[in-house]
Structure 1
Amino acid sequence: MVRAENVRKRFGPLEVLKGVDLEVRRGEVVCLIGPSGSGKSTFLRCINHLETLDGGRIWVGGQVVGYQRRGSKLHELGDREICRQRTEIGMVFQHFNLFPHMTVLQNLIEAPLRALKEPKAEATERALALLEQVGLGDKASAYPRHLSGGQQQRVAIARALCMRPKLMLFDEPTSALDPELVGDVLTVMRDLAASGMTMIVVTHEMGFARDIADRVVFFEAGQAVEVGPAKQVITEPRHARTKAFLAAVR
């Protein structure tokens, strides 16, 4: 589903990604862990072309993301083509980014109506079903300001799923939540993983990574230092830096 080859990204003089290689199979859940500033979130944003690449390439579903080849060179796609690619990739951020002036239901159907040109009745039916799925079937007419942080994040997940993506990206989806609200969001993500959705998750929730991920990738200083089965990386890491990180977060 996802293939990254020698992905490089810098912001001015700071090289944030230093040649990352990674493959994610269809239906697989991969968690990215590591210290703050190690490049995890930047790599995730590159998959959705929210950040341009300074080197390497990323494929999603066999298509190069954000670029097309002309002769021997890659050229960045136009905004319309990039937006079309993004309709197939759902992304959930640390902060919920819901439209405050819209109800929950309106937040969910906005993109299907505008980007996919779906009939309103069809989009509404799917949105209501997804709200039930994330445990918020009674919140369709509520506004974001009336919801807790955990509820808003579950709405954000349902909103991404409304586009029927083939890949879901999660950028530390529980980091902005109070501890008692984390569980409900993780439950939704566990159910989504069990349904067979391909997921890449940046997280500091080591228990979630150990129990749900097929593989875990440890990032350090812009590189994928250790990649392996979740339980092996979390409980018996091989790289010294992975061991030190996990000892600190425990």
Structure 2
Amino acid sequence: MTPPMVSLRGVRKSFGTTEVLRGVDLAVAEGEVNCLIGPSGSGKSTLLRCVNHLETVDAGRVEVDGSLVGYRESGGRLRELPERLIARRRAEIGMVFQGFHLFGHMTAMQNVAEALIGVRRLSKKDAHGRALAALQRVGMADRADFHPSRLSGGQQQRVAIARALAMEPKVLLFDEPTSALDPQLVGEVLDVLGDLAGAGLTMIVVTHEIGFARQAADSVVFLDQGLVVESGAAREVLQRPERSRTREFLDRVL
């Protein structure tokens, strides 16, 4: 049986006395689109940040493509890797945030090429070629020389997606990629996500856009109070949920 591309086992995470993740298991196959849904404060964003070690776990294991993220195992214990090795591993895990996180003093092209030069060690010419291809993929090639201040929120988010894509990661993580956008701009970003989902990329998407999950997701996980309440095929979870908490949540958001 082919191992999952992303695997979380028994993941726990607390902030102070608040336990945000309470033993989460998750498996996402290569090429699968998984949507994480649930109420605000349920632990979805924290879970996503644990996948690329932006948050360290208190217990459990996170693996991408069969290898631990952020740790090595020694003597039956997990020991955190040096930051340079964590950064190298993190380069294989693309992440798109709610707030774009673009450099204001750089053009769209420079924003996308920056990590290709600094992390992947590509030449400026090769980095700009790959960056332009990524911008083309999200419909932003004609804005390559624009600074973020000249772009709409939806355009900035598409540049952020291009930046993640250009690194050719093994998995793409999206943390509420439309939540910071005006309603009229949400569609253009969801269209890009739909295209990526159709291209067979491995994706984990934290979203409140149930329509997108219904259309593009292969699987859905409903998280509440730091626990996986229900998970399975998107069609089953969204149309015929077994758990009352899932039904109540979907009734509220639909």
* TM-score greater than 0.5 by the shorter chain: yes
What letter corresponds to residue 237 of structure 2 in structure 1? Answer: V
Structure 1 partner of 2:74: 70
Output aligned runs, 1:1-250, within 5 Å.
1-250=5-254
Compute the RMSD of aligned alpha carbons: 0.6
CA deviations 1:201-220 (Å, max 9, x no partner) are 00000000011000000001
Q: How many residues align?
A: 250
CA deviations 1:17-62 (Å, max 9, x no partner) are 0000011000000000000000000000000000001000010011
Shift of residue 163, structure 1, vs aligned partner: 0.7
What letter corresponds to residue 149 of structure 1 in structure 2? Answer: G
Unaligned runs of 5+ in 1: none
Tell me how far apart the structure 1 counterparts of residues 30 and 53 of structure 2 sit (CA, whole Å).
20
Unaligned runs of 5+ in 2: none
Tell me how far apart the structure 2 counterparts of residues 132 and 150 of structure 1 sit (CA, whole Å).
15
CA deviations 1:137-186 (Å, max 9, x no partner) are 11111000000000000000000111111100000000000111011101
For residue 138 of structure 1, give the secondary structure of its aligned residue in structure 2.
helix
Tell me how far apart the structure 2 counterparts of residues 129 and 9 of structure 1 sit (CA, whole Å).
38
What letter corresponds to residue 133 of structure 1 in structure 2? Answer: R
Tell me how far apart the structure 1 counterparts of residues 251 and 76 of structure 2 sit (CA, whole Å).
47
Tell me how far apart the structure 2 counterparts of residues 187 and 132 of structure 1 sit (CA, whole Å).
14
For residue 164 of structure 1, give the secondary structure of its aligned residue in structure 2.
coil
For residue 197 of structure 2, give the secondary structure of its aligned residue in structure 1.
helix
What letter corresponds to residue 50 of structure 2 in structure 1? Answer: C
Tell me how far apart the structure 2 counterparts of residues 245 and 113 of structure 1 sit (CA, whole Å).
44
Tell me how far apart the structure 1 counterparts of residues 250 and 55 of structure 2 sit (CA, whole Å).
29
CA deviations 1:69-119 (Å, max 9, x no partner) are 111211001100000001100000000000000011110100010001011
For residue 142 of structure 2, give the secondary structure of its aligned residue in structure 1.
coil
What letter corresponds to residue 86 of structure 2 in structure 1? Answer: I
Q: Which runs of 4+ in 1 moved over 2 A?
A: none
